[in-house]
């Protein structure tokens, strides 16, 4: 009996991760307001990425399971945090948001090590993400001008995530590997 073809949840997870990361940077460099970041953060970066994360469970991919579920939670939390500020519900100051970002930086550092064992594209994405988080941490603790540097750097992170998404989708639709992802940075 022929087994039904399964989709790869990573295409949704990477799509949502990349797109919301991208729009936040459009805000960070000053091109647009925060509104679209909140709503996209709740739905694509949040809900969709989190569902993709849960779907990773049945594929046996613990890295994707953890990463997509966690970064989906990141976006939902960030959006709710900003909505909370609007409605005076547990208001989060710039310093509070700074510490929120520090915690995510530490979490990302763990996944970064794992990413280096997966393939070059994943290692590149997580290296850029980690650097972006560190820049945002510094921007929230005394170096606000780094917000713009973080903005452009994290746009590259978003593009790297979309590259991996495109790698999976193109391999499927073209029937061959179009976009190489490179060797793991850590070889055992």
Partner 1 sequence: MHSIRKLTRAALIALTLTVTTLLTHSAAVADESAATPDEVVTKVWGAAKVLQTKGASAIPSLNNADGPWVWKDSYVFAFDCRLDRMVAHPMRPDLVGRPIMQVTDNNGKYIFKELCAAATAKNGGWVEYQWTKPGAGQTSRKLSYAVTADLAFSTGIQVAAGVYDETLSLEQLNKMTAEMADPGNYSH
Does 177 sit near partner 1 (CB under 8 A)?
no
Residue 79 in the binding site for partner 1 (CB under 8 A):
no
Distance CA 43, CA 170 (A): 25
One residue of 55, 69, 125, 147 binding partner 1 per CB under 8 A: 147
Number of residues that bind partner 1 (CB under 8 A): 24
Which residue from 32, 94, 110, 113 is in contact with partner 1, where contact means CB under 8 A?
Answer: 94
User: Quick check: 102 binds partner 1 (CB under 8 A)?
Assistant: no
Nearest distance in Å: CB 45, partner 1: 15
Give the C-alpha separation, 15 to 186, whole Å: 26
Tell me the three state secondary structure of residue 157: helix
Cβ atoms 129, 157 nearer than 8 A: yes
The residues near 5 (Cβ < 8 Å, ≥ 6 apart) are none
Please identify, using beta-carbon distances, which residue of 115 and 150 lies nearer to partner 1: 150
Please state, in angstroms and rounded to a whole number, the distance separating the CA atoms of residues 57 and 108: 19
DSSP three-state, residue 123? helix
**Residue 124 is a binding residue for partner 1 (CB under 8 A):** no
Sites of contact with partner 1 (CB under 8 A) = 24, 27-28, 30, 33-34, 82, 85-86, 88, 91-95, 97-98, 136, 139-140, 144-145, 147-148
């Amino acid at each position: 009996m022929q087994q039904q073809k399964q989709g790869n949840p990573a295409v949704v997870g990477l799509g949502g991760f990349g797109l919301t990361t991208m729009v936040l940077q459009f805000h960070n460099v000053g091109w647009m307001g925060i509104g679209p970041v909140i709503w996209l953060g709740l739905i694509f970066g949040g809900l969709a990425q989190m569902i993709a994360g849960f779907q990773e469970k049945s594929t046996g991919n613990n890295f994707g399971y953890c990463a997509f579920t966690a970064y989906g939670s990141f976006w939902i939390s960030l959006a709710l945090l900003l909505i909370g500020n609007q409605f005076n519900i547990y208001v989060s100051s710039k310093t509070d948001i700074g510490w929120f970002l520090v915690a995510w930086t530490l979490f990302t550092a763990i996944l970064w090590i794992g990413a280096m064992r997966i393939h070059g594209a994943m290692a590149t994405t997580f290296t850029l993400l980690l650097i972006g988080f560190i820049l945002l941490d510094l921007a929230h603790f005394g170096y606000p001008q780094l917000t713009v540097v973080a903005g452009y750097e994290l746009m590259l992170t978003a593009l790297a995530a979309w590259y991996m998404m495109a790698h999976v989708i193109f391999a499927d639709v073209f029937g061959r590997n179009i976009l190489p992802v490179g060797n793991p940075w850590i070889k055992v």
